A and B are shown apart, each in its own frame.
Chain A
Amino acid sequence: MAKFLSLHDAVAANLSDGDVVAFEGFTHLIPHAAAHEAIRQGRRELTLVRMTPDIVYDQMIGLGMAKKVVFSYVGNPGVGLLRRLRDAVENAWPVPLEIEEHSHAAMANAYEAGAAGLPMAVFRGYRGAGLADVNPNIKMVECPFTGEILAAVPSMQPDVTFIHAQKANKKGDVLVEGIVGIQKEAVLAAGRAVVTVEEIVDNFDGLHPNACVLPAWTVSAICTVPGGAHPSYTHGYYGRDNVSYLEWDDISADRERFTAWMQANVFDASPEDFAGRVTKFRNAT
């Protein structure tokens, strides 16, 4: 059953060194504040999982928190490459980084299989694709009914998933809307789930009957962190800070500039700082 905790306490209680952890968000609802808290708490040896690792994964990788990253698209969307990740992959700075790479279809199917309690996912994919040759976790299986050759990947079941969401009610049920991405599957596939929300409301009366709600008993902890997705966005609350994504390209291009930026904006900052970062984007949704 969901506990209402401070972000510090929720991360401390649910994330340990060596964990397989997903900070999910498909452009939308990326849990930046939660990842920054993990950075401040100095977690190491993590296996970082996400379909679309972008700048917050670049930050964690640039600080040497990860031994491995599992992904299907690793870039700064619409801007370019992730420079800290490149430095880790190409130059082992600050530490070597193992990669396990999939396609979106494979990752999405793997999370869904994880949520469904299956050991693997089966789909029509990877035909002629080079990833099947370099990733031993991609296999081909034969359909026992038709003989069709299909792709199989292990299901994705992180030790812990972090997501951001619009709101929770007082019982701890969580509402996710807009581009829901992989949020629901990533929570239901994980051993533990921590959700940061924009606000806590009394109840969900008047919601659409099919709204995406994660019942309180599927969530380990809920933390109120207004602006907690910034520079990603929260549909209905504030828009995406595209300028910050563009600026990251320059900040991350240089090891010293990166390190100074992390000190000023993460180590010397707190979850409460996120609310101020989204003020000017609040009319943009």
Chain B
Amino acid sequence: MSDATPEEMMTIAASRALRPDDVCFVGIGAPSAACNLARLTHAPDITLIYESGTIGTAPNVLPLSIGDGELCDTAVTTVSVPEMFRYWLQGGRVSVGFLGAAQLDKFGNINTTAIGDYHNPKVRLPGGGGAPEIASSCGEIFITMKQNQRGMVNRIDFFTSFGHGDGGDAREKLGIATKGPTLLVTDLATWKPDAVTKEFTVVSLHPGVSREQVQQTCGWPVTFAENVETTPAPSALELTTLRDLHARTKAAHSGDAA
């Protein structure tokens, strides 16, 4: 299957990173598609958690919000929001947090709060929601976003959630025991943090993507791994499953009641 769009490739590559026994805290948007694709392909028993309190949910269509009714209908259990954040997230029960980002830097720090000065913002964004504690309490963090110069920046305007700070052992210095960002999947490439510096490094280019394309759409000088691989192209199963999921979602969210 070679006719996948870059966005489809991104979602499919991100979905592959999830393991069948993961307990995954799902961010809305691109992460939600990747997590549900994993559940519908290689990880049918994955536990997906949305911050509305739904644990072990299996929606037939992607939710528009983190609290759509179908998330509750298909969940193993639905708990209150304080319980969600106290027992399940803070309690250390979640292996992966899957986040999107408005602004991202090379150390996996994320800004979804404001562009410009916090007190006098050029653009006021929605804010962090659950992300500040997802970023510090989940075993590790996967990030997915489309590449562009405005999003992948040398310096983010606000630290909504902490990745690797200014690199190296920044997390340990703050007393954060979890791994933080271990994976970034964009529409062009797959990135992993350098073992020492923690800077995101391109380890795999999606089929047909050049190093120049990756650099042109990224605001910091890109580091490439010694051996850059080519991301395996989407399988027929991955692509049809994803397209069916999007088609069902579109039908459910436009027009009349689903």
Binding site for A on B (CB under 8 A): 28-29, 51-54, 63-69, 71-72, 78-82, 84-86, 89-90, 113, 118-119, 121-133, 135-137, 158-162, 165, 170-171, 174-176, 252-258
Instruction: Determine the chain A residues whose CB is within 8 A of the CB of B257 once the complex forms.
Output: 239, 280-281, 283-284
A109 at the interface (CB under 8 A from B): yes
B158→A51 contact, CB < 8 A: no
CA distance A246 to B253 in the complex (A): 9
A128→B136 contact, CB < 8 A: yes
Instruction: Determine the chain B residues whose CB is within 8 A of the CB of A285 once the complex forms.
Output: 69
A149→B52 contact, CB < 8 A: no
A22 to chain B, nearest CB (A): 13
Given contacts A129-B159, A179-B52, 8 further A-B contacts (CB under 8 A): A73-B126, A103-B133, A104-B85, A105-B85, A123-B86, A127-B162, A284-B258, A285-B69
Instruction: Determine the chain A residues whose CB is within 8 A of the CB of B137 once the complex forms.
Output: 124
A26 to chain B, nearest CB (A): 5
- Which of A77-85, A157-165, A215-223, A255-263 interfaces with chain B? A77-85
A54 to chain B, nearest CB (A): 8
A56 to chain B, nearest CB (A): 14
A5 at the interface (CB under 8 A from B): no
A70 to chain B, nearest CB (A): 12
Q: For B170, give the chain A residue with the smallest CB separation.
A: A128
CA distance A95 to B2 in the complex (A): 54
Q: For A112, give the chain B residue with the smallest CB separation.
A: B82
A51 to chain B, nearest CB (A): 7
Contact with B along A76-113 (1 / 0, CB 8 A): 01110110011001100000000001011100110110
A131→B132 contact, CB < 8 A: yes
Instruction: Determine the chain B residues whose CB is within 8 A of the CB of A82 once the complex forms.
Output: 126
CA distance A28 to B122 in the complex (A): 31
Q: For B52, give the chain A residue with the smallest CB separation.
A: A179
Instruction: Determine the chain B residues whose CB is within 8 A of the CB of A81 once the complex forms.
Output: 123-126
Q: Contacting A52 at CB < 8 Å: which of B79, B129, B170? A: B129
A85→B69 contact, CB < 8 A: no
Instruction: Determine the chain B residues whose CB is within 8 A of the CB of A181 once the complex forms.
Output: 52-53, 67, 80-81
Contact A89 to B121, CB < 8 A, known contacts A28-B52, A28-B67, A124-B90: yes
Contact with B along A239-257 (1 / 0, CB 8 A): 1101101100000000000
Contact A77 to B66, CB < 8 A, known contacts A109-B82, A128-B136, A129-B159: yes
B71→A179 contact, CB < 8 A: yes
Instruction: Determine the chain A residues whose CB is within 8 A of the CB of B174 once the complex forms.
Output: 127-128
B81→A78 contact, CB < 8 A: no
Q: Which residues of A from 184 to 229 have beta carbons under 8 Å from B?
A: 184-185
CA distance A132 to B119 in the complex (A): 14
A63 to chain B, nearest CB (A): 18
B90→A104 contact, CB < 8 A: no
B245 to chain A, nearest CB (A): 15
Q: How many A residues, CB 8 Å from partner? A: 59
Contact with B along A22-45 (1 / 0, CB 8 A): 000011100000000000000000
CA distance A277 to B183 in the complex (A): 44
B127 to chain A, nearest CB (A): 5
B181 to chain A, nearest CB (A): 12
Instruction: Determine the chain A residues whose CB is within 8 A of the CB of B118 once the complex forms.
Output: 130, 134
Q: Contacting B113 at CB < 8 Å: which of A27, A79, A130, A233? A: A130
B253 to chain A, nearest CB (A): 5
A206 to chain B, nearest CB (A): 20
A90→B128 contact, CB < 8 A: no
B53→A77 contact, CB < 8 A: no
CA distance A77 to B52 in the complex (A): 12
A280→B256 contact, CB < 8 A: yes
Instruction: Determine the chain A residues whose CB is within 8 A of the CB of B29 once the complex forms.
Output: 78
- Which of A27, A125, A239, A243 has the most chain B CB atoms inside 10 A of its CB? A27
CA distance A143 to B208 in the complex (A): 53
Q: Can you list 27 A-B pairs with a CB-CB distance of less than 8 A?
A: A27-B65, A28-B69, A72-B128, A74-B124, A78-B29, A81-B125, A90-B121, A90-B122, A90-B123, A104-B51, A104-B81, A105-B86, A105-B130, A111-B82, A112-B86, A124-B90, A124-B136, A125-B136, A128-B174, A129-B161, A130-B118, A130-B160, A178-B72, A179-B54, A240-B68, A242-B64, A285-B69
